[in-house]
Copies of this chain bind each other. A is one copy, B any other.
Amino acid sequence: MDTRFTTMFGLELPLAGFSRSPGVVAEVSAAGGLGVLAATPYVPDELDRHLTWIAERCDGAPFGVDLLVPPGPMTGVASGPLPVTHVDFVRELLAEHGIASPGLGQLGHGATTTTSLSADGVEALLDVTFAHRPALVANALGPAPARLIERAHAEDVPVAALIGSSTHARRQLDLGVDVLVAQGTEAGGHTGSIATMVLTPEIVDLAGDVPVLAAGGIADGRQLAASLALGAAGAWCGSVWLASEEDITPTTVKRRLLRAGSGDTVRSTARTGKPARQLRSAWHDAWESADAPPVLPMNQQLLLSKDAWALIEAAAEEGRDVDELTSFFVGQVVGRMTEIRPTRQIVHDMVAGCVEAIGGLGGRR
């Protein structure tokens, strides 16, 4: 399957696998796709260790790194205590589910968040990233800033940008990005409102020679074939790896993912301050209720959530029943997750299904 994307990166498969799990990234790359590690969950030392391990496992196969670089001039992370009303609201919510939360809002679980959102933190992640000679750097949220693109191009590293609309795509093309990832509303994590089926051909038509990957709603071979039919040069998959053996998501969360249906996600600002698709839980219901305080700006809501989630996951690990609160960033494809497979198997199943779907076109169905 040769596309402009596979040619650009010397890949066997038109498939990028985005994950925070080093094992997933290494396996996708080793299988002939392009594994892309989410850097922002990590502090620089961790990132360095993970990229070293991935490079060894890949044995020369290309891999990428996804960052989250703020678009504007760095103004630092909002510091100081979180608003009392919000901390109290979360404390009550947790208490309703049997979780005590003394010290909420000052738990210090925001270390990696602070790293990825502060000026010095991002520069340190970039230094580590480029030292490992990735095949690609990507920007996960909002426009890839000019200085990221300049630095990457100075080091001969192509840049991918995730976009959810034509307006964003045009801006990125003007800035000189090398790959566009057209991410539909069905995707997990931060995402826009336009569906992959509509967004992909729209972006392909304005991207000219720049390869476009389709993202959102792609977890099986038919969906990969559909992406190619829409004119994409490949697919960018994130959620599907959550049901892999190599994924590091806690078992308690994975169990909930395996039970969820495709209608059980919500695109909500309640976890990070910006619209992100995730498994709907009592957390989202509470923030949508009439007596909820307004969601905070990104940095603050993220810090508040991060503290809360550390407590929720700790309670789950202790075997307490906090299923109603449990959530994770995941796309609508969660409905098809019914078993945990090795990453390599997921890739193989997807490719075999894609070949079969393409072969079946023109035949009876």
Interface residues of A (CB under 8 A from B): 1-4, 7, 165-166, 184-186, 192-199, 201-202, 216-218, 220, 222-223, 225-233, 261-263, 331-333, 335-336, 357-358, 361-365
Contacts and interface: CB of A to CB of B under 8 A. Distances in A.
25 contacts: A2-B363, A2-B364, A7-B364, A165-B261, A185-B185, A186-B198, A193-B263, A197-B216, A197-B223, A198-B217, A198-B262, A198-B332, A201-B223, A201-B336, A225-B230, A225-B361, A228-B229, A228-B361, A229-B358, A229-B361, A230-B357, A231-B357, A232-B365, A233-B365, A358-B361
Contacts of A333: 198
A143 to B, nearest CB: 16
Query: Could you tell me the dominant secondary structure of chain A's interface residues?
Result: loop
A361 B361 contact: yes
Given A166-B261, A197-B216, 19 more contacts: A3-B364, A165-B262, A165-B263, A184-B195, A184-B197, A186-B197, A192-B263, A194-B335, A195-B217, A197-B218, A198-B262, A198-B335, A225-B229, A228-B361, A228-B365, A229-B358, A230-B357, A358-B361, A358-B362
Can you list the 10 inter-chain pairs with the closest CB atoms, starting with the nearest?
A197-B217, A186-B195, A226-B226, A225-B229, A226-B229, A198-B332, A195-B195, A198-B217, A358-B361, A196-B197
Number of copies: 2
A364 B358 CA distance: 14
A261 B218 CA distance: 24
A262 B332 contact: no
Contacts of A202: 262, 335-336
B198 A362 contact: no
Contacts of A220: 201
Nearest to A266: B193
A202 B334 CA distance: 11
A280 to B, nearest CB: 10
A247 to B, nearest CB: 20
